[in-house]
Amino acid sequence: MDKKEVAAVLEEIALLLELAGENPFKVRAYEAGARAVLTLPGDLDAAWRSGDLARVKGIGKSLAGVIAELLTRGEASLYRELKDQTPPGLLELLRVPGLGPKKARVLFDELHITSLGELEYACQENRLVALPGFGAKSQEKIKAGLADLSRYDGLFRLGDLLPLAESLAARWRRLPGILRLEVAGPVRRRLEIADAIDLAVATDHPHQVLAELEKVLGTEFVLSHPGLAEATLPQGVPLKLTLAAPAGFGAAWLAATGNADHVRALEDLAREHHLELTPQGLWADGRLQPSREEDDIYRRLGLPLMPPELREGTGEVEAGRLNQLPRLITPGDIRGCFHVHSYYSDGVNSLEELIAAAEQRDWSYLGVSDHSQSAYYAGGLKAPDLERQRTEVQALGREHPDFTLFWGVESDILSDGSLDYPDETLAAFDFVIASIHSQFSLKREAMTERILTALANPFCAMLGHMSGRLLLAREPYAHDLEAILKFAGAHQVIMEINASPYRLDLDWRWLRRAKELGILISINPDAHSLEGLDDVNYGVMVARKGWLAPEDVLNTYPAAEVAKILRRRRSG
């Protein structure tokens, strides 16, 4: 098992302990152990074999024993015991937004609820209102959460599907009969939400390929259409497998990638050229034209090879015909990033560790922005904390003369739109990200005014996670995004693409509008660990879907230019 897998088991043990009503200190110990495993430098197995694991802060002898079981046996006896003791279905209740372990336990003890269906029925019958710790408002929130779950059922985040799809493709390319295998569908287009993993296979022996994959998966494929086989992966994710002859693989891969509007536009263009485009290939007078590669088809239609992220039927084919497609940003264009949390608030790493991680990624700057004082739940910084952090940032600046550590803060936007510190405090920071973390249920007009008030503060450099959404968990709050973007453009406020795979906010569908309004975008990982810095890559995917070029993104500029941009609102 790797670090992430071990940490996931420790987190679930903490959850099961809390469901069982165990000592909170024991619960926190396993949560801390999971964080310690994730941030452990070097190899986990080597640390265990050397005996150093038990001495790691946050782990200790007891947790080291559980980790040893996981590494040697793939399972821990404590985990199995807790799973066996937990009533079936109780974990399912925790999928409901706002329903934590304590309340789930009350539902089981008082109403014997062990499924989402039983919970929905109990809400309809008003049985939650009188329960300890609940009430009418809690019941309404749970009903809304259940409705969201129903709407999200069968959908998956890109952050979960992309690594799985790439892992499957890497392993399965070596199987007999497979000449080529590529990721397709919404995952290839980097859509934030998808309902399946799509793979395209070039093969001369489709039946052999299906037989090999059925052995690997332990399940049978269903042929839903000629050349399309479907199955369900062990992770519960639907798999769609396109099987194509090598001579027509480019057309099959293109069709499997989509989207439907983009493919239809290509089919229309093919007809203008007296050609026919099908999933089997590009045809002229009944003869197959070169179709092994997607580029064969695009070139024959007079188009450049279209980046998959742009294939959404939003004018990309016409732009390609006019040679007006942008040079899209790439991960290699990124020189640094902002919106990074340290152990001063709810991050797990020191400033020194964050600098080292940034330098390993060949970045020349980093913007640390811990939570502000009102964010008590995230260890928000009071005045003494700010002074300590500022002193350390200045010291690290002297120790790392070739690296720029920008000192910032993620300031809560309060209910009236004011920021979380007085202006004299905000003036000391290199940058301020203004974000909403509370009171999501305001009416559209009130929420819009709240955000505009925050943006009017000259010390607000960026607006964080614009809509407040959590993918497949929380809908955006009501707001007038057009009005907010116009204000941001007029007042030189930078808009964030929050690159956390749980957010991906600002939505890519609005990025072209932001660009039209002259808004500079910052791709921010919202990192709480060293690994979280790599979420910048998800932000780049979002930026590419939004047609952004390197010059549209703050992170592509050198540190000296970034410093000027961050100061521009204050100077005029």
The string of DSSP codes covering 220-243 is: --EEEETTEEEEE-TTS-EEEEEE
Instruction: Give me the pLDDT at residue 9, please.
Output: 92
Model confidence at 572, in pLDDT bands (50, 70, 90)?
Answer: low
Instruction: Give me the pLDDT at residue 329, please.
Output: 99
Question: CATH classification of 331-567 is 3.30.1330.60, yes or no?
Answer: no
Instruction: Tell me the C-alpha distance between 119 and 146, whole Å.
Output: 9
Q: Which residue has the tokens 């600098």?
A: 355
pTM of the model: 0.85
pLDDT beyond 70 at 357: yes
Task: Express each pLDDT in 534-555 by its tens digit.
Answer: 999 999 999 999 999 999 999 9
Q: Write the CB contacts of 2 (distance below 8 Å, at least 6 apart in sequence).
A: 44
Task: Express each pLDDT in 121-134 by its tens digit.
Answer: 888 878 898 888 89
CA–chain centroid gap for 44, Å, is 25
User: Do the strands 222-225 and 238-244 form a parallel or antiparallel pair, or are they unpaired?
Assistant: unpaired
CA distances from 544 to 205, 311, 329 (A): 36, 11, 6
pLDDT beyond 80 at 163: yes
Model confidence at 169, in pLDDT bands (50, 70, 90)?
Answer: very high
CA neighbor of 521 nearest in space, from 507, 501, 532: 507
Sign of the Cα pseudo-torsion (160, 543, 195, 308, in order):
negative
| Residue 308, number of CB atoms within 10 A of its CB | 24
Instruction: Give me the pLDDT at residue 406, please.
Output: 98
Domain 253-325 carries which CATH code?
Answer: 3.30.210.10
Model confidence at 395, in pLDDT bands (50, 70, 90)?
Answer: very high
For the chain, state the CA radius of gyration: 26
Mean pLDDT, range 280-293, rounded to an integer: 94
pLDDT beyond 90 at 102: no
Instruction: Tell me the C-alpha distance between 501 and 131, whole Å.
Output: 35
Does residue 86 contact residue 19 with C-beta atoms inside 8 Å? yes
Name the burial class of residue 29, with classes exposed (0-12), middle (13-18) and buried (19+) by CB atoms within 10 angstroms of its CB: buried
pLDDT beyond 90 at 156: yes
pLDDT beyond 90 at 116: no
Task: Name the phi and psi angles at 303, rounded to 5.
Answer: -120, 155
Instruction: Give me the pLDDT at residue 408, please.
Output: 98
| Residue 537, number of CB atoms within 10 A of its CB | 15
Q: Is 337 helix (H, G, I), strand (E, B) or coil?
A: strand
CA distances from 207 to 177, 196, 204, 248, 323 (A): 9, 22, 9, 18, 42
Instruction: Give me the pLDDT at residue 48, please.
Output: 85
Structure tokens at 432: 């301020």
Mean pLDDT, range 283-291, rounded to an integer: 94
301 or 55: which leads in pLDDT = 301
74 or 289: which leads in pLDDT = 289
Model confidence at 201, in pLDDT bands (50, 70, 90)?
Answer: very high
Instruction: Give me the pLDDT at residue 497, please.
Output: 99
Model confidence at 147, in pLDDT bands (50, 70, 90)?
Answer: confident
Q: Write the CB contacts of 394 (distance below 8 Å, at least 6 apart in sequence).
A: none
**Domain locations along the chain:** 3-150, 154-244, 253-325, 331-567
The CATH architecture assigned to 3-150 reads: Orthogonal Bundle (1.10)
Instruction: Give me the pLDDT at residue 41, please.
Output: 78
Mean pLDDT, range 116-120, rounded to an integer: 88
Does residue 82 contact residue 76 with C-beta atoms inside 8 Å? no
User: Do the strands 238-244 and 197-202 form a parallel or antiparallel pair, or are they unpaired?
Assistant: parallel
Structure tokens at 437: 């973390």
Q: Range with the lowest mean pLDDT among 73-87, 361-375, 453-467, 514-528? A: 73-87
pLDDT beyond 90 at 3: no
Strands across the sheet containing 276-278: 276-278, 281-284, 287-288
Instruction: Give me the pLDDT at residue 97, please.
Output: 80
Instruction: Give me the pLDDT at residue 370, please.
Output: 96
Mean pLDDT, range 361-388, rounded to an integer: 94
- Strand partners for 407: 368
pLDDT beyond 70 at 459: yes
Q: Write the CB contacts of 500 (distance below 8 Å, at least 6 apart in sequence).
A: 525, 526, 532, 535, 538
Domain 154-244 carries which CATH code?
Answer: 3.30.460.10
CA neighbor of 257 nearest in space, from 317, 195, 311: 311
496 or 347: which leads in pLDDT = 496
